[in-house]
Amino acid sequence: MKKRFVLWSLLGFGIYALLLGLYLFQWSEFGVPEAYKGTAADPETFMTPRELELTEEYSRYRYFLSFLGQPLEWLLYLGIMLMGASVVFKRFSEGVSRFSAIQIPIYVLLLSTISWFIMFPLDYIKRKLSLHYGISTQSFSSWMRDEIISFWIGFAIMALLITVLYKLMKWSQKRWWLYAWLLMIPFFVFMMYLQPVVIDPLYNDFTTLQDKQLEDKILTLADQADIPADRVYEVNMSEKTNSMNAYVNGIGSNLRIVLWDTTLNRLQEDEVLFIMAHEIGHYVMNHLYWNLIGAIVAAFFGLFFAYHLMNFVVSKWGRKWNFHKVSDIAGLPVLFLILSLLSFAASPIELAVSRQAEKAADEYAIQMTQDKEAAVGSFQELTVNGLSEVNPPALVKYLRYGHPTMMERIYMLEQYDHKKK
């Protein structure tokens, strides 16, 4: 059984990688449709031939590595079950303590550690690719520091959630998914409140914006949108990346307007103001809260389907895999596998909704600033700076893009008519 799993996994993953490579490197065209030729969305109008070549190369390799990760994660969880590693983790944790409040975090730590080590080579290759094409500037020690921080933050959150979840499973075999969902609602809100002031500063240094004139202009935009902010934060990202970004996150008193220093260094002031108007648009249209509602709704259906699928797996393969009830912690990899598959199935819908929200924020920003030149220029610079493919293959767009393509965004801004709107 174990040998067959290894052989079929290697064969299946190899065929998948081959087909993926053919799709990205042979069957997909990265060109610009005729209707967009010569417009501001045509990269030939604002990129050099060498930049165009690097963009296509980098995009193909980046997409290839990105699509490899998902099935590798599924095989990882399935392999842990079939190889008996999950039962070993469970017995070890039971040998450490007789209390489930200690056993479960130990099990989660073992599972998280083995998962991290197996996925590490792929993450390292992604880093090397980013370095090779000049996107990342981060040293290995700094990158490892961020990896370790992410690991322990992820473990702490996951250990808490899984401990509570399995307590609920033992307490109520039929309603645990509903009670877990109800507890997830305040947890999501708490994490939104906590993220800007506790978690984000663990990775980067945040300071108030040094350019006070620019800060006043951004706060004026924020005031027009009724955003309760009295300062703009600047984060030092140039030590890690050449990419640019800006965002508004947090809720209540922890709301923050944040600019990466790379954005400040590479864009003109009017272009920065357009980018900030875009982020302000998300706040004005309540996208932060709609994201929260979306996460709550997704959690409801995810837990509901996970409840039924876990019962099915236990009855079908539980004895073979040495876990005999849903509340047995040895079945956690199965739960992770189910949730990952459900998340993947829902991702096209979630990404489509996200693309619409981003388009609405672009429209809000151009209405607010009424500076078409700055709007187009900012996205052109983002394209060049990040080696972003303006017209990715359809599969990439619908399974990976939470924003409209750069071609769609730039063309919309160039054609935007303020008077009609």
Distance CA 168, CA 158 (A): 15
pLDDT bin (cut points 50, 70, 90) of residue 229 is confident
Q: 249 falls in which pLDDT band (50, 70, 90)?
A: confident
97-127 pLDDT, tens digit each: 999 999 999 999 999 999 999 999 999 999 9
Pairing of strands 233-235, 246-249: unpaired
Please return the burial class of 17, using the count of CB atoms within 10 Å of its CB with bins 0-12, 13-18 and 19+: middle
Residue ranges for the binding site? Answer: 278, 282, 358
* Cα-based torsion angle of the residue sequence 77, 78, 84, 85 in order, rounded to the nearest 10 degrees: -20
The torsion angles phi and psi of 257, rounded to 5 degrees, stand at -100, 120
> Which pLDDT score is estimated for 190?
93
pTM of the model: 0.92
Q: In what order do the strands lie in the sheet with 256-260?
A: 206-208, 233-235, 256-260, 246-249
The answer to whether residue 231 scores a pLDDT higher than 90 is no
Q: Of the listed 279, 381, 389, 408, which one is catalytic?
A: 279
Position 255 confidence tier, pLDDT thresholds 50, 70, 90: confident
pLDDT at 418: 57
Q: What percentage of the chain has pLDDT greater than the value 70?
A: 99
Secondary structure (3-state) at 39: coil
The dihedral sign for the CA sequence 258, 274, 404, 297 = positive
Q: Which residues are annotated as a binding site for Zn(2+)?
A: 278, 282, 358
125-135 mean pLDDT: 96
- How many beta carbons lie within 10 A of that of residue 196, not counting itself? 20
pLDDT of residue 224: 86
**Percentage of the residues of the chain whose pLDDT score is greater than 90:** 82
Q: What pLDDT, on a 0 to 100 scale, did the predictor assign at position 1?
A: 64
State yes or no: pLDDT of 420 exceeds 80: no
For residue 253, name the pLDDT band (cuts at 50, 70, 90): confident
CA distance 100 to 213: 56
Active site residue 363: no
CA-to-CA distance for 248 and 289, rounded, in angstroms? 12
Residue 414 has pLDDT above 80, yes or no: yes
- Give the tens place of pLDDT for each residue, 199-228: 999 999 899 998 999 999 999 988 888 887
- pLDDT tens, residue by residue, 60-108: 999 999 999 999 999 999 999 999 999 999 999 999 999 999 999 999 9
| Beta pairing, strands 233-235 & 206-208 | antiparallel
29 is catalytic: no
pLDDT given for residue 72 in this prediction:
95
Average pLDDT, the chain: 93
Model confidence pLDDT, tens digit, residues 307-328: 999 999 999 998 888 888 999 9
Catalytic annotation, pick one of 328, 362, 371, 381: 362
Segment (H or E) for 257: strand 256-260
